[in-house]
A and B are shown apart, each in its own frame.
Chain A
Amino acid sequence: MIATTEVGLRAPELAFEALAPRPLSTPVRMGIQEHRALFGPMPLDLRPLVQALAATGLGGYGGAGVAAIRKWESAARDGAGGIAVANAAEGEPASAKDAAIWQTRPHLVLDGLEAAAVAIGAAESVVWVHGGDRETVHAIERAVGERGPGLVPVRVVHGPDRYVSGEHSAIVRALRGGAAVPRFRPTGARSWVGGAPVLVNNSETLARVALLARTGLAGHREAALVTVVDAGVRRVREVDAGDRYGDLRGASSPAAALVGGYGGRWHDWRELAERPLLGAQAPELGAGVVALLPEGVCGVCETARIADWMAAESARSCGPCRFGLPELADALDVLAARGRAGRAPARIGTLADLVDGRGACAHPDGVARMVRSALRVFGDDVTAHRAGRCLARTQASVLPLPRHGRAR
């Protein structure tokens, strides 16, 4: 069951709604004293933690789905003296879980970051954050300040506010003095491509590492933070293996949901509602965003808006993404506008195939995935638009899109 604790986190549009007894849930900031009193110290011996990480496969809360232990082992093999990074740069416009976790449980993330840094023999740790997210930046700096010196020094580094600047290779590049844009990773190469290892873990992953260090394998329960976008409000909720999509719905009656993020997949709500949020039978949760599309809102029109935004967020370093995403967005705009839309779906499919897998990062792949799923799920809307009609009862735009390169 989903509890209803709710406080304003970034009022008025964001609430942190939580499932009551779970460790990341109570939506109150825990300073260092409360944190130590509740969770106790991090165990100094990391071996049981490493074994538990291997046994659980914990990780992937940033959306790429890579188990934390695989990243740690890979970094450790490349020698000491590297950097351990907590990724707090929430590029997903709808996601608020990193903000929520830093504003309520910052010391769990910092505990996890310290464990990661010690495990790979890092010379320093970095919290990588979007400069524009001022409340989160403030929460991070406050937490780092009140901890005092730890085993490995921690630095807060501000990246630019762009969708792709939280991408792993963009962070690595920026920490070495380059631009925060993704870099190509040759087949078989480590993601840091030469030099000392740079280990990047998502903030929630690190918080769950810190919890696992205390509970051990025996006390571990699979859980995840999910940002639910519903009727203009974003709520961060903690879900576990027993929860279903239907439990996320508030008073609204959704027709569909975009799961994973804006590079995720649309699902018909009737098919989604009974499915579990976690586990082998669950749809890919990606960055943990579940954006509900209310009945009466046109999925084709919303998809066109998102595709426009995603096209403009391209770093423009790879040709197929730079030229392909704007054309793909244009084709969707033609379909959404219902003018000469007859051939638009075929053109959209061709363009999605042409951009998929052809960038240095997964940005174009995500757009292709989202757009293809829209053509599948919104078949009735597509048919109506081709015939010059729109089935929507409201022209409202429901999914939040920030201005480009600005604070949200």
Chain B
Amino acid sequence: MRVEVDPTRCDGVGMCAYLAPDAIALDRWGFPLLPRAPRSGAGGAALERAIAGCPRSALRRVD
């Protein structure tokens, strides 16, 4: 699966990078750098947690 972020909603809380540390990094301002390639298995599950855990509901599954 892949995820995308609505940058107008994201406040740079960083919960996504905490919940999916292998897939999501934070830039120097604290905003997520998302993987371009799809993730499956454990990586996909971590992305699901990041989507569910975002306090701003800014993350969304693309496919």
Binding site for B on A (CB under 8 A): 181-184, 186-187, 317-321, 323-324, 354, 358-360
B6's nearest neighbour on chain A, judged by CB, is A184
A interface majority secondary structure: loop
Cβ of B62 and Cβ of A360 under 8 Å apart?
Answer: no
**Residues on B close to A: CB < 8 A?**
4, 6-12, 27-31, 60, 62
Given contacts A187-B62, A323-B29, contact A317 B8 (CB under 8 A): yes
B28 x A318 contact (CB < 8 A): no
Chain B interface SS verdict (over half):
loop
**Inside 8 A of B30's CB, which chain A residues have their CB?**
319
Known interface pairs A354-B28, A358-B31; A319-B6 also in contact (CB < 8 Å): no
Q: Are B31 and A319 in contact (CB under 8 A)?
A: yes
B60 contacts which chain A residues (CB < 8 A)?
A: 186
Nearest Cβ on chain B to A353's Cβ, whole angstroms: 10
The answer on a CB contact under 8 Å between A320 and B8 is no
Partner of B29, one of A317, A324, A360: A324
> Contact at B7–A359, with CB atoms within 8 Å?
yes
Q: Is the CB of B27 within 8 A of A318?
A: no
Inter-subunit contact A320/B6 (CB<8 Å): no
- Chain B residues with Cβ below 8 Å from A324 are 29
Complex Cα distance, B29 from A321, in Å, reads 10
The smallest C-beta distance from B7 to any residue of chain A, in angstroms, reads 4
The answer to whether B29 touches A318 (Cβ under 8 A) is no
In-complex Cβ contact of B31 among A181, A320, A360 (8 A)? A320
Q: Enumerate the 10 nearest inter-chain pairs by beta-carbon distance, A residue then B residue, closest first.
A: A318-B7, A184-B6, A319-B31, A323-B29, A317-B8, A360-B8, A184-B8, A187-B62, A319-B12, A360-B7
Q: How far is the CB of B39 from chain A (nearest CB, A)?
A: 16
> Are A320 and B7 also in contact (CB < 8 A) when A187-B62, A354-B28 are?
yes
| Chain A residue nearest in CB terms to B12 | A319
Known A317-B7, A319-B29, A319-B30; 15 more pairs at CB < 8 Å: A182-B8, A184-B7, A184-B8, A186-B6, A318-B8, A319-B12, A320-B7, A320-B31, A324-B29, A354-B27, A354-B28, A358-B31, A360-B6, A360-B7, A360-B8
Q: Contact at B4–A319, with CB atoms within 8 Å? A: no
Q: Could you say which residues of chain B place their CB within 8 Å of the CB of A323?
A: 29
Query: Cα distance A358–B7 when bound, in Å?
Result: 7
B27 → chain A, closest Cβ, in Å? Answer: 6
| A187 nearest in chain B by CB position | B62
Residues of B within 8 A of A182 (CB): 8
Residues of B contacting A319 with CB < 8 Å?
7, 10-12, 29-31
Contact of A320 with B4 in the complex, beta carbons under 8 Å = no
Distance in angstroms between the alpha carbons of A317 and B11 in the assembled complex = 9
* Shortest Cβ distance from A323 into B: residue: B29
Closest CB-CB distance, A219 to chain B, in whole Å? 44
Residues of chain A within 8 A of B7, CB atoms compared: 184, 317-321, 358-360
A186 and B6 alpha carbons, distance in the complex (Å)? 8
Closest to B62 in A: A187
Q: Bound state CA distance, A187 and B62, in angstroms?
A: 7
Contacts of B6 in A (CB 8 A): 184, 186, 360
Q: Which residue of B lies closest to A319 (CB)?
A: B31
Q: How far is the CA of A324 from the CA of B31 in the complex (A)?
A: 11
Residues in chain B near residue A321, CB distance under 8 A: 7
Q: Inside 8 A of A187's CB, which chain B residues have their CB?
A: 4, 62
CB distance from A172 to the nearest CB of B (A): 14
Chain A residues contacting B27 (CB-CB under 8 Å) are: 320, 354
The smallest beta-carbon distance between B33 and chain A, in angstroms, is 8
User: How many Å lie between the Cα of A133 and that of B12 in the bound state?
Assistant: 37
Cα distance, A358 to B9, chains bound together (Å): 12
A184-B4 Cα distance, complex, nearest whole Å: 11
Nearest chain-B residue to A318 (Cβ)? B7
The interface residues of chain B lying within 8 Å CB-to-CB of A318 are: 7-8, 10
List the A side residues contacting B31 at CB < 8 Å: 319-320, 358
CB pair B29 A320 closer than 8 Å: yes
The closest CB in chain A to the CB of B4 belongs to A187
Query: Quick one: closest B residue to A360, CB to CB?
Result: B8
Nearest to A183 among chain B residues (CB) is B8
Task: Please name 6 pairs of A and B residues whose Cβ atoms are closer than 8 Å in the assembled complex, sorted by A.
Answer: A181-B8, A186-B4, A317-B7, A320-B31, A360-B7, A360-B8
